[in-house]
Chain A
């Protein structure tokens, strides 16, 4: 199958629907294709794409003079198609994509809150990223809104309309934003009868740090640092996606050794998070043995990262034009030894997790995400792979260095907590193989190319398979090499809504383990 050989079929269907395609480009946002369409056709284009089994992967906007440029991304077979349209900035209105792609819900509300776009037919009129700290008619990503505009005074947010309790014996449990564990803040509103969850609503935005706004005007290195803090557990992948977008905009290819080292950092990040979360999932059902073992392995792994890349989470290791650290021979040996340690210990630990009856009892059939629901919501990463959806950018649309690496991916169909944990257990083994190969074949040479700022208006799209799933990052430069627009789309946008679905019919005490098995990023989606 060649890339984009499905596009002609979609275009034919657009034509049948009288959807006006204005212009296309295969290079402006390569490897994605760009397609300009009329704002009147915005909704019908999504409808047609949904009928053609496309996946919906994100939406962002940018104020450009008198117009608001809006972009949405459709994916098929790992190929990304960017739909672009322009609407008047004074009265921005567009058809909603949510009726055809439910996963578009929150991101459209984000756009409504931050840009004031009015999405007709959007099923949910409630705000999302906005809380009650800035006025209803103020939209932070508009040019007229100052980045340092003072907020309204703090007061409890009591006007967000959760679905009300109905029926005898049903009751509400509000949880958060401050949670019981050492985790990020967010609010969960349960409707329960007895111990059974009837409904769950998430209310996020508490960690909204204005990332998109404060990105404006940064230079490339400043943006990479910020991208590395969109969500700290994914610092390598987010920095990589941002640098990839900037390098594509600047038509600059990092040297081969840097590209290999980026993958090495990325696979290390995947393993670190999987190790930590496997332990935490087991701990949430009271199996502390696994927590101690896996957190021990994670600690050793992090120490190796610190010794070889100068930071336990490998923050700021990926920089525009390459990577910041070039491990020497003893450091590379330390990384190899780390791989060997996991290879030696995991075969002893995995069977314990596989056959432990109390684990099986709590994890199997808990929090089931049916494949149809997963597909409808457009979930990504291990959430998808545990629910029978076989997607992985490293394999489907490989970027360097994965175009030269054999990427194997696990696939399960049960969609329960156990399946999500299994995906992660297997991914660790696959990543170890990639790491060994990367270390064995590490190309010689420099690790950074001199950054040169691209011309004003250059834009680029970064696409990497993070440990939670696909990350899509858009960057456009303004003048003087300063960033004009940055939008990093974390996979959590799609994985969080799945938690609301998979918890149905489970008992309230199983919520922590269900939540842990999803492990969405709050910071990554609150921006």
Chain B
């Protein structure tokens, strides 16, 4: 136990206070995300992640949102186990034909009003997989999409920016 406490003390807080990359200021995004979640979802945004046929690359980066550098829980963003608890569906993959039924059911199970965010080039337009007998070529060909986050996969920072965009958009 002492070793654990010691390690925690030595690691201290790594959550990013200032941008370490040359990209847009992470702290500014963070602040606006916090405000966006507070304003539109009273401080608690429940996300259900749905993989509609991704290569798993996008999932790895969505996971990273929960590591201690980005730690999106501090803005009230949390990932929930059921679409019935979700305000927002975060969907990856090109919408494979085999996932279409499950995707439609998940969407139907998510209470209104709901937001749909398509994550990654695949979800945006089919990406490397395009449109084929097995792929619908993007989430928008199956469901109404509120925002798209490009990238293959998008970095955690791009994911945060994309979520922000979805929150700041006027309601559908």
Could you tell me which A residues sit within 8 Å of B by CB distance?
131, 133-134, 140, 145-151, 154-157, 177-178, 180-185, 205-211, 213-214, 225-226, 229-233, 235, 276, 289, 292-293, 295-296, 298-299, 302, 306, 312-313, 315, 348-349, 351-352, 521-523, 526
Contacts and interface: CB of A to CB of B under 8 A. Distances in A.
B100 interface: yes
B30 interface: no
A505 to B, nearest CB: 26
A140 B81 CA distance: 35
A185 B132 contact: no
B125 to A, nearest CB: 14
B14 A209 contact: no
Given A207-B53, A210-B133, A225-B128, A133 B59 contact: no
A208 B95 CA distance: 10
Nearest to B83: A178
Interface of B: 3-4, 7-8, 11, 14, 49-64, 66-69, 79, 81-83, 93-94, 96-102, 104-106, 127-135, 152-153, 155
A295 B71 CA distance: 11
Given A214-B129, A229-B57, A523-B54, A207 B11 contact: no
Contacts of B129: 209-211, 214, 229
B57 A296 contact: no
A276 B60 contact: yes
B50 A148 contact: no
Contacts of B61: 312
A235 B57 contact: yes
B67 to A, nearest CB: 4
B100 A154 contact: yes
Q: Taking each of B14, B56, B93, B134, which has the highest tally of chain A beta carbons within 10 Å of its own beta carbon? A: B134
A140 B69 CA distance: 44
Nearest to B8: A289
A296 B132 contact: no
Contacts of B105: 156
Contacts, number: 166
Nearest to B131: A148
Nearest to A316: B152
Given A207-B99, A229-B128, A312-B61, 14 more contacts: A134-B97, A149-B133, A150-B133, A185-B99, A206-B96, A210-B132, A213-B132, A232-B54, A232-B59, A233-B57, A289-B8, A313-B57, A352-B3, A523-B56
A491 to B, nearest CB: 14
B69 A296 contact: yes
Nearest to A145: B133
A233 B59 CA distance: 9
Contact of B102 (A180, A185, A526): A185
Contacts of A295: 63-64, 66-68
A267 B103 CA distance: 36
Contacts of B153: 232, 313
Given A231-B56, A295-B67, A208 B51 contact: no
| For the complex of A and B, 7 pairs with smallest distance between CB atoms | A232-B57, A210-B134, A180-B81, A232-B55, A295-B67, A207-B53, A182-B49
B3 A205 contact: no
